[in-house]
Amino acid sequence: MPGEPVFAAGWWAAEVASEPPNVPLGTAPTILHTVQEGSLERVVSYPTSALWPSAPAGVNGAAGTLTSIDVQDGQSVDAGTVLYTVDLRPAVAAADNVPSPPSGTSRKAPPGPTSSSSRTS
């Protein structure tokens, strides 16, 4: 058949190409390197920018005269920290989500301490 010699040549080429090279061991030169403890790093800078709208960190529900500010700008606070006082009533930082009043009701400050966000502006 006309395709048999091509098939046989292909089979032979595949066998020869898939055999590992016959290089005698020990002929490659021995290379020694000194190892040092350290670190390698590569710093790559990419120009980026990010924009987001600003939003109030919390809502003040107190009405009256501001009588003290008890935190510094940028200060981290925990839940229960007094942020400021209005008419000598403390406004404290609240943890987690503070529920909003039911629709149709006012946001009038309740008597006693009021709730505010844990971040001040």
Q: CA-CA distance, 84 to 68, in Å (whole number)?
A: 5
Q: What is the pLDDT of residues 5-58, one digit of tens each?
A: 666 667 777 777 777 777 677 667 788 888 888 888 888 899 999 888 877 766
What pLDDT score does 32 carry? 87
Global pTM value: 0.35
Cα(62)–Cα(109) distance, integer angstroms? 5
> Does position 79 have pLDDT exceeding 90, yes or no?
no
Residue pair 120/83 in contact (Cβ under 8 Å)? The answer is yes
Q: How far apart are CA 80 and CA 115, in angstroms?
A: 9
Segments making up each domain of the chain, as ranges: 57-121
